[in-house]
Structure 1
Amino acid sequence: MVFTSLTPLSTELSRVRLEIRTLQPRLVQWRRSLHQYPELGFREHITAEFITRKLREWGIDHQTGIATTGVVAVIHGTQPGPVLAIRADMDALPIQEENQVPYCSLHDGMMHACGHDGHVAIALGTAYYLSKHRHTFAGTVKFIFQPAEEGPGGAKPMIEQGALRNPDVDAIIGLHLWNNLPVGTVGVRTGAMMAAVELFDCIIQGKGGHGAMPHQTVDSIVVGAQIVSALQTIVARNLDPLKSGVVTVGKFHAGAALNVIADTAELSGTVRYFDPGLTDFFNQRFEEIIAGICQSYGARYELNYRKLYPPVINNEAITNLVTSVVENVIETPLGIVPECQTMGGEDMSFFLQEVPGCFFFLGSANATKGLDYPHHHPRFDFDEIALGIGVEIFVRCVERYCALA
């Protein structure tokens, strides 16, 4: 593999230490190798083997098979001290890649369309560097390579199987390559960074009949349409206007013929919010609104409302540490993008409920190279310069948090 971008990296990587700059070609090679073999949640066997092969090669202690395919590695410094965890998710998406690149996905219908291949490469690069420089920090660094972030969620089962124990983690950090920001920038904030994710499915049971005789029926489509409209009033009229929320009905399936009133209608969608205090708010209002509308029309319903991920809440102290590190690594005019938030969800939230930590966005888009397609797009790709920047930020966070006395 030929890598010819080290010379143009002078601006973006000018504050990245020489040894990590030298590592850049290997970061790119690892990322591209992973990109060619994407795997869905809890099936990341090739990915896990790639990770463990590198860890064995570097003499890094690790455990495998956590939450099916998860890997946890541990690197000890030369003196006792705190335990800092670094988390990297490693699953792909069920998307057919449309990029015409030498490292295009070789697995039909699967693609790393969210940057998790880059997350693994950054974490591996950090582990490699720290394994060669144990004398530069005290305490322990734990690397958590997590399956199934895209669903159904690998963080919680990894926690349940002890990923944060033995040794017990004091704090955790993680990053997400982010094509909503240009390469050479970082988005970070204290408090809510990403939203809670809740899902719902609702079946409306009416009474079908002839399209010309509606009085003999209970029209499930009319009932469903009323529900779709009424659900939007939760945010507009029930939620404190100073708080944020989103209710999206993404699927509405009903009917099979133009002259038949549908017997049933099926609605599905998602709810997003930042405030942990809203944990049961939307669920309750859904039940009340749907029940009331169905009763008024004489219809019945089945509602399956479930919580997927809680909001990502960054700890102030750890966020301040990350921010201070980033200020010394990023020097472009934009630099740090403050108050950066998204209604997207992440199961990093489960780790942050257990220990204080910070999750941040590492800018990865480069429009001049055509590397600015959004996440989950079949032509998603990112500027690989971000890989070296990510390693430098992680390494400096370790050095700062696990400072030698």
Structure 2
Amino acid sequence: MTTEVVHNVESLVNEVKAEVVKWRRYLHENPEVSFQEENTSNFVYETLNSFGNLEVSRPTKTSVMARLIGEQPGKVLAIRADMDALPIQEENTFEFVSKKPGVMHACGHDGHTAILLGTAKILSSLKAQVKGEVRFLFQHAEETLPGGAEAMVQAGVMDGVDLVIGEHLWSPIELGKIGIGYGPVMASMDTFYITIQGKGGHAAMPHQTIDSITIGTQVVNNLQQIVARNIDPIDPVVLSVTKFIGGTTHNVIPDTVEIVGTTRTLNPDVRESLPKRMEEIIKGITMAHQATYTFKYDFGYRPVVNDQAVTSVVEELARKVVGEENVVPFRPTMGGEDFSAYQQKAPGTFFYVGAGNAAKGITYPHHHPKFTVDEDSFEIALKMFVEAVCKFNL
């Protein structure tokens, strides 16, 4: 790491932070949901090309990759940002609210994109000092299965990468702090679909039916026993039924019910065991009541598992950026994130930049219609990324 760059990180970030805020506000006004990020990706592509010294490409229809290839050998570091918005009607009143009805950036991805653009602009001016390569990954469709990360990996964005990092602006953490977690920090995110086929009939003559409603409720209740009685209490697991559809009126017992839900866990072995145990329960209950069933289980995102060595270095950088007292342990969440796809190809870490600010009323949770982030957090995220490149590539 050159002494010159170390002393200049603050000034380099100061030069771009106003532009980063401008980019974020433009993106916030013009959100696009997963797999529809055409204007967003075009904006990112054109902005990156304006910096110079970058090889910019489109790995998929709505994603962008930029490569800063140094003139000396060294490590290949990938840095990822997601770009998609959510199908939520925004209820904020600031001047740059979403212009698109029913769509808003309610998770901070507008900030992630702007921060990585700012990082790319800073580093593009340092090409002569770069060793190895810095790869900037602007990913589509983090919010919607099957997710954009897997498609980007399949397109080759991680080929030759030695390590990968990413950050999330995190409103539950107060501005000025950085959350660091070792090992599993975010859960797998899987979905199940169950149909119970009974025999419909008149509600006044239930003995002539095979009641899919009562069978379905038994299935729902007994699925909860998996977490309560089949899983080691030390392993966090969520099994939530979120949809139960059956019946059309008060005096008809329906033929079928549909049950949908999600499972979450931090343990890959537990994840693999869940669908087998679920089907055993569903099969047993339906057979006992002479009904039949269909069961579909879709594996979604893997758990995000932070590499010990990479995380240790990033924690060291966080102490430098915000001070040791402001680096906080990140408590794992059962939310999912497809950053895990990149970690299958290279060791990496995902850290959390505090973006909440109670004094400014920035307290709403992610995916809320009034969600926003404190834009002062962008400077911290920028410093983290630039310091990481100083550590690994300069």
Partners of 2:359 and 2:320 in 1: how far apart?
26
TM-score normalised by L of structure 1: 0.93
Partners of 1:388 and 1:248 in 2: how far apart?
38
- Kindly report which structure 2 residues correspond to 1:273-292, keeping only aligned pairs within 5 A, or say none: 273-292=265-284
Structure 2 residue matching 1:91: 3-state secondary structure:
coil
Q: 2:156 aligns with which of 145, 162, 166?
A: 162
Partners of 2:175 and 2:324 in 1: how far apart?
9
Which residue is 2:21 aligned to? Answer: 28
Q: 1:326 aligns with which of 318, 333, 351?
A: 318
- Cα deviation per residue 1:291-342 (whole Å; 9 max; x = unaligned)? 1111111111111111010100111110001100001111385x12214210
Which residue is 1:315 aligned to? Answer: 307
Contact kept in structure 2, 1:209 and 1:216, CA below 8 Å: yes
TM-score normalised by L of structure 2: 0.95
Name the aligned partner's letter for residue 389 of structure 1. I
Q: 2:359 aligns with which of 368, 371, 376?
A: 368
- Kindly report which structure 2 residues correspond to 1:73-152, keeping only aligned pairs within 5 A, or say none: 73-152=66-145
- Cα deviation per residue 1:21-71 (whole Å; 9 max; x = unaligned)? 232211110000011111111211111111111111111433433222111
Which residue is 2:371 aligned to? Answer: 380
Partners of 1:95 and 1:321 in 2: how far apart?
37
Using the aligned pairs only, state the percent identity.
46
- Cα deviation per residue 1:230-282 (whole Å; 9 max; x = unaligned)? 11111111111111100000111111111221221111110000011223211
Which residue is 2:335 aligned to? Answer: 344
Distance 1:362 1:339, change over 3 A: closer
Name the aligned partner's letter for residue 306 of structure 1. D
CA RMSD of aligned residues (A): 1.4
Partners of 2:286 and 2:349 in 1: how far apart?
44
- Cα deviation per residue 1:141-161 (whole Å; 9 max; x = unaligned)? 000101000012001111111
Partners of 1:331 and 1:324 in 2: how far apart?
10
Which residue is 1:222 aligned to? Answer: 214
List structure 1 segments (4+ residues) > 4 angstroms apart after TM superposition.
Answer: none
Segment drifting more, 387-396 vs 273-282: 273-282
Partners of 1:386 and 1:339 in 2: how far apart?
17
TM-superposed deviation, 1:136: 4.5
Partners of 1:48 and 1:178 in 2: how far apart?
23
TM-superposed deviation, 1:354: 1.0
Which residue is 2:388 aligned to? Answer: 397
TM-superposed deviation, 1:135: 4.3
Partners of 1:159 and 1:378 in 2: how far apart?
32
Name the aligned partner's letter for residue 290 of structure 2. G
Partners of 1:316 and 1:63 in 2: how far apart?
31
Contact kept in structure 2, 1:105 and 1:111, CA below 8 Å: yes
Q: 2:245 aligns with which of 253, 271, 284?
A: 253
Segment drifting more, 336-345 vs 322-331: 336-345
Structure 1 residue matching 2:14: 3-state secondary structure:
helix
Contact kept in structure 2, 1:16 and 1:329, CA below 8 Å: no
TM-superposed deviation, 1:362: 1.1
Which residue is 1:9 aligned to? Answer: none
- Kindly report which structure 2 residues correspond to 1:198-217, keeping only aligned pairs within 5 A, or say none: 198-217=190-209
Contact kept in structure 2, 1:16 and 1:388, CA below 8 Å: no
Contact kept in structure 1, 2:49 and 2:56, CA below 8 Å: no
Partners of 1:197 and 1:42 in 2: how far apart?
19
Partners of 1:118 and 1:332 in 2: how far apart?
25
Name the aligned partner's letter for residue 179 of structure 2. G
Structure 2 residue matching 1:128: 3-state secondary structure:
helix
Give 5+ residue unaligned stretches, structure 2. Answer: 1-7
Partners of 1:355 and 1:203 in 2: how far apart?
39
Partners of 1:25 and 1:59 in 2: how far apart?
20
The alignment of Structure 1 onto Structure 2 pairs a total of residues equal to: 386
Name the aligned partner's letter for residue 34 of structure 2. G
- Cα deviation per residue 1:81-123 (whole Å; 9 max; x = unaligned)? 1100000110111111111111111111111111000000110
Partners of 1:312 and 1:397 in 2: how far apart?
20
Q: 1:43 aligns with which of 27, 33, 36?
A: 36
Name the aligned partner's letter for residue 328 of structure 2. V
Name the aligned partner's letter for residue 156 of structure 2. G
Partners of 2:229 and 2:22 in 1: how far apart?
52
Name the aligned partner's letter for residue 372 of structure 1. T
Partners of 1:158 and 1:285 in 2: how far apart?
33
Give 5+ residue unaligned stretches, structure 1. Answer: 1-14
Structure 2 residue matching 1:96: 3-state secondary structure:
coil
